[in-house]
Amino acid sequence: MWVSIDLCLVPIGVGISLSPYIKACLLIIEEYKLDYELGPNGTAIEGEWDQVFECVKKCHEVVHSKGAPRVYTTLKVNTRIDKKQLFKEKVQSVRAR
C-alpha cells in the first residue's frame, strides 16, 4: 500500500542542535530511495508502507546509536486506495485553486 507520512523525530538528551541526527535520518531515507521533502519541523516521506516504516525504524536505531538515550517521534500517516497521489501533486492541487 502506498503511504505518505510526515515524520518529526526528536532525539532527547543530546543537547540543543539536532541537525546531525536529522542528517543521519536523511541519509537513511536516501538509502531506501524514498521520495522526501525536508521541512523546518519535519520531513514528508512517501513510498510503499513496509519500506517507509522500516525506514522510520532504522532512523530510530541510528539516532539511538549516535547517543540519543530517547527518541520522541510524531507521525502523520496518509493512505488512499482510490488513486496514487504523490505529496507534490497534493501541494500543486492546492496552489492551483
Question: Is-contact 80 50, C-beta < 8 A?
Answer: no
Supply the CATH number for residue 10's domain. Answer: 3.30.70.930
| pLDDT of 74 | 97
Count of the separate structural domains present in the chain: 1
pTM summary value = 0.87
Residue span of the structural domain in which 81 resides: 2-96
Stretch 58-87: mean pLDDT: 93
Mean pLDDT, rounded, for 14-30: 95
